[in-house]
Structure 1
Amino acid sequence: MLISTTQLNSILDDSDVIIADTRSFKEYSEGHIPGAVHLDLFAFHWIDTTQKGIENFNNQSQNLLSFLGVTPEKKVIFYDSVSGMLAARGVWMLMYFSHENVSMLDGGITKWKQENLSLETKPNGFKPSKFSGKINSDIISGFEYVRDNLDNLKILDARSSGEYDGTIIRAAQSGHIPNSINIDWNQNITKDGTFKNDEELSKMYEIPKDTEIITYCQGAYRAANSFLVLKKLGFKNVRVYLGSWGEWGNKPELPVEK
């Protein structure tokens, strides 16, 4: 799920590679990896995980990935400023549609620039496809699944400690999902923007490997980053709660802890 700057630099001219810059358009226009298209994934929030809501998410995601030009033989690489949450969201989305040939650039454009690799400023157009993919429901969760399994799951809150303890309020209710533990996603990343090595990460996530884990944050971006870290460490049963606190914290009938 991770690709190094050296590996990416060696396949820039490959016609079967799609490179998606998930930063803001301003950052993209000031300089991006040659051949990269701009895809603002942050505009694609989703906080309705009712059955109908998930169906709509699936349809909208397929439209977005068709726009990006994804086909079964394409290798798709998402990048961010660092090994960040936007690129991680892109990787998780493609894994959700069973497209295994997907990676995140480790260290993002920050590491790319540090190594003086080439940049360009001209925008690149999309080459749309008809993407369908096959839904992998094992890596997504809605609010009902979390609510009904609160005592059987390890719930991982990837937000800041202030959001977790309720001092920072970003929904009608403050606090966290009952029984959840808080490991801020920022701790996944080193000072140079790459993911920490497996030894360091394993010390942070001292959870039995066969545990079922659900990650969440405010909008399932930071949660996607923690999802990738857990998969990298070999955890088999990990889901992202798509609605996250943006949904849970705005449903007064759902339980919260502070």
Structure 2
Amino acid sequence: MTDPIVSPQWLSQHLEDSDVVVIDCRFSLAELELGHQQYRTRHIPGAFYLHLNRDLSSPVGKHGGRHPLPNPDKLAKKLAAVGITSSQTQVIAYDDSRFAFASRLWWLLRYLGHEKVAVLDGGFSRWQEEGYPTSSDRSTAKPGKFEVNLQPEWVVDIETVKARKDLPQVMLVDSRSPERYRGETEPIDPIAGSIPGAVNYFWQGVTDETGSAKPTDAQRDRWQEASAADEIIVYCGSGITACVNLLSLHLAQVENPKLYAGSWSDWCSYLR
């Protein structure tokens, strides 16, 4: 399967497949343990939990942003521990935040060389609304074998952004809300504003209000202006919700967009 988004119906039909592993990515930036608590209370049967801060990010430093990319080898061990085998296991990631955290895992797995990954359309809420079962049981796994095949060209750092952002064929995309992009409000980082030259594509435009992906045609229409760019660099606050736009670009068949992983939280750390 190559579709990056699957329906609850598809997942329900394949939930017992030996080569399918489901990962719960629910998280709250305001309440750091809320997602894990929700998982322990109720989750999709057989799902495992990966925590944004502990599993899908590295420890925070002076620079590098609020959610630096995880160490590939450490993440590979965690993926293997929940039964994921490189190039073999079909991974389904879900959250309850319009793909905000599931798309981080979707992007990370592909960054590590594992293409067989998709996000659950509508997340946990749609799964429940459509009447599919949930569980509070602890999931157990037969360990897999995960080998890293890193795609380093998918990521850029602050120096690359500075050097390339004003070139005529480079499109720098800010994925945050219009208010944060314009610098009118900043609820998380110490400085408000955006990187000069960036254009705003709010990540929540990828889904409808129920958290389901908009049709592929709508994703293509959304990125019409991107067709003229030779290079697209995407950022957000800390490299999380930018991955929703990267998923949208993938759906729109726009090739080779790059993630500024440190994003605004890294950029503004040099402004203080």
Q: TM-score range by the shorter chain?
A: 0.7 to 0.9
Match status 1:16 vs 2:19? yes
Q: Does the residue aligned with 1:40 lie in a helix, a strand or coil?
A: coil
Aligned with 1:28 (options 29, 34, 39): 39
Q: Where does 1:120-199 land on structure 2 (aligned, <5 Å)? A: 120-152=135-167, 153-169=170-186, 170-199=188-217
Partner of 1:70: 84
* CA–CA separation in structure 1 for the residues paired with 2:180 and 2:77: 33
Is residue 205 from structure 1 mapped to residue 258 from structure 2 by the alignment?
A: no
2:268 is matched with which residue: 249, 252, 257?
249
Residue 123 of structure 1 aligns to a residue in which SS? coil
Are 1:107 and 2:122 an aligned pair?
Answer: yes
Q: 1:235 aligns to what? A: 254
Summarize deviations over 1:171-228 as a string: whole Å, max 9, x none.
3432111110111111211122111112323333222436211111111110001100
Aligned equivalents of 2:132, 2:267: Cα separation in 1 = 43
C-alpha displacement at 1:5, in angstroms?
1.1
In structure 2, how many angstroms separate the alpha carbons of the residues matched to 1:65 and 1:97?
A: 11
Runs (4 or more) in structure 1 with deviation over 6 Å come to none
Task: Tell me the SS of whatever aligns to 1:250.
Answer: helix
Task: Please report the RMSD computed on the Cα atoms of aligned residues, expressed in angstroms.
Answer: 2.2
Deviation larger for 164-173 or 244-253: 164-173
Identical aligned residues as a percent: 28
1-structure distance, mates of 2:78, 2:239: 17
> SS of the counterpart of 1:117?
coil
Asked whether the 8 Å contact 1:45–1:219 carries over to 2, the reply is no
Give the distance between the partners of 2:228 and 2:7, measured in 1 at CA: 29
Corresponding residue SS for 1:92: helix
Change (3 A) 1:252 1:127: farther
Residue 210 of structure 1 contacts residue 235 of structure 1 at CA under 8 Å; is this kept in 2? no
Is residue 2:238 matched to residue 1:219?
A: yes
SS at match of 1:248: helix
1:42 Cα deviation from its structure 2 partner: 4.3
Deviation at residue 126 of structure 1 after TM alignment = 4.8
What is the one-letter code of the residue matched to 1:79? Y
Query: What TM-score does the superposition give when structure 1 sets the normalisation length?
Result: 0.88
Structure 2: distance between partners of 1:45 and 1:168 = 25
Letter in 2 for 1:30: T
Matches of 2:82 and 2:238, distance apart in 1: 22
Aligned to 1:256: none
Any conservation in 1 of the 2:175–2:200 contact (CA below 8 Å)? yes
Structure 1: runs of 5 or more not aligned: 254-258
For 2:244 and 2:193, the matched residues in 1 are separated by 21
Structure 2 counterpart of 1:40: 51
Whether the 8 Å CA contact 2:226–2:232 is kept in 1: the answer is: no
Distance 1:201 1:64, change over 3 A: same
Aligned partners of 1:251 and 1:68: how far apart in 2?
38
> CA contact under 8 A between 1:82 and 1:106: conserved in structure 2?
no
Point out the more displaced range, 218-227 or 208-217.
Answer: 208-217
Q: What amino acid does structure 1 have at the position aligned with 2:173?
A: L
